[in-house]
Amino acid sequence: MPILSRLCIDWVKAVPFAHRGLHGPDTGPENSLAAFDAAITAGYGIECDVRLLADGEVVVFHDADLTRLTGRAGRIEDLRTPDLRELRLAGTDERPPLLRELLTRCAGRVPLYVELKGDSRPGRLEPAVAGMLDGYAGHVLAASFDPFSLARMAALRPDLPRCLISCDFDKATDMGRVKRFVYANLLHAAVALPHCLAYGWWGLPRLMPALFRRLGLPVLLWTVRAREDMVEALRHGDNIVFEGFLPPSPDAATEQEGRGSVASAQE
């Protein structure tokens, strides 16, 4: 069985992805409709995180626990859709949005990078997301650290581009040594069959990400938080997931020689 899956997704190289939306003091909290609107207005792609609610709806929310983002105790997975009306993100008027709301808001104007966080309910999030994306006209990446989540998505929607997320886990404390080695060196790609990679830029260069890129898989670098880090990161990949600064505008990036790649704007 091949460890790589071929699909033309050059669009993932075209514009930087705003990590959890273009969030900040003036643009709204992370994973909020305000932050997504800001990214769309600026022409950036959107990276976001999704989880499953107790009633089967898909919410855009990063943490399993509610405390950091809402100040409320409990777990997001125990809530139902009406409960979201009572939550506020980071003390603002924004509440956690549903994935369907983001899709309606985006309407294909910028690409989406949707990270699947189905760790506590394996096998349930993927069908919900696949069904919601059915008929959506815009560019979408289904991304996950979990190779089995991507394998489930491949069975449900083989036409949907899949992105395997990984990094150098050498300092991780919640993974065994063998799993750290397997994930850092992308040996689990044989399960995920990804169309592209998203790799933690601080752990590069590394043999396997470089090899996969040579074999034709686009490589995204996450999460880049400074312009000087962007320059270094793009030595090893094709595009960035960014936060805390504004990379070159999408229009500027696509006007360079080798049009369509953020990396080309740095050459």
pLDDT score for 265: 39
Q: Which domain CATH number covers 80? A: 3.20.20.190
Q: Please check whether residue 5 lies inside any domain of the structure.
A: no
pLDDT score for 188: 96
pLDDT score for 1: 37
Q: Which amino acid is at 249?
A: S
Q: Please check whether residue 10 lies inside any domain of the structure.
A: no
Q: Please check whether residue 4 lies inside any domain of the structure.
A: no
Predicted confidence (pLDDT) per residue in 148-188, tens digit = 999 999 999 999 999 999 999 876 567 888 999 999 999 99
**Structural domain harbouring 220:** 15-266
Q: Please check whether residue 6 lies inside any domain of the structure.
A: no
Q: Assess whether pLDDT exceeds 50 at residue 61.
A: yes
Token pair for 3 = 């460890």
pLDDT score for 175: 83
**Alpha-carbon distances, residue 87 vs 28, 57, 76 (angstroms):** 15, 16, 10
Predicted confidence (pLDDT) per residue in 90-134, tens digit = 999 999 999 999 999 999 999 999 999 987 778 999 999 999 999
pLDDT score for 172: 57
Give the burial class of 7: count Cβ atoms within 10 A of its Cβ; 0-12 exposed, 13-18 middle, 19 or more buried.
Answer: middle
Q: Please check whether residue 7 lies inside any domain of the structure.
A: no
Token pair for 61 = 């929310």
pLDDT score for 171: 65
Measured distance CA(253)–CA(257) in Å, rounded: 9
Q: Please check whether residue 2 lies inside any domain of the structure.
A: no
Predicted confidence (pLDDT) per residue in 125-154, tens digit = 999 999 999 999 999 999 999 999 999 999
Question: Taking the mean position of all CA atoms in its chain, how far away is CA 166?
Answer: 11
What is the pTM assigned to this prediction? 0.91
Task: For the beta carbon of residue 229, count every other beta carbon within 10 angstroms.
Answer: 18
Q: Which residues pair with 144 in a beta bridge?
A: 164
Q: How many domains is the chain partitioned into structurally?
A: 1
Predicted confidence (pLDDT) per residue in 214-265, tens digit = 999 999 999 999 999 999 999 999 999 999 999 986 554 443 333 344 444 3
Q: Assess whether pLDDT exceeds 70 at residue 38.
A: yes
Give the burial class of 54: count Cβ atoms within 10 A of its Cβ; 0-12 exposed, 13-18 middle, 19 or more buried.
Answer: middle
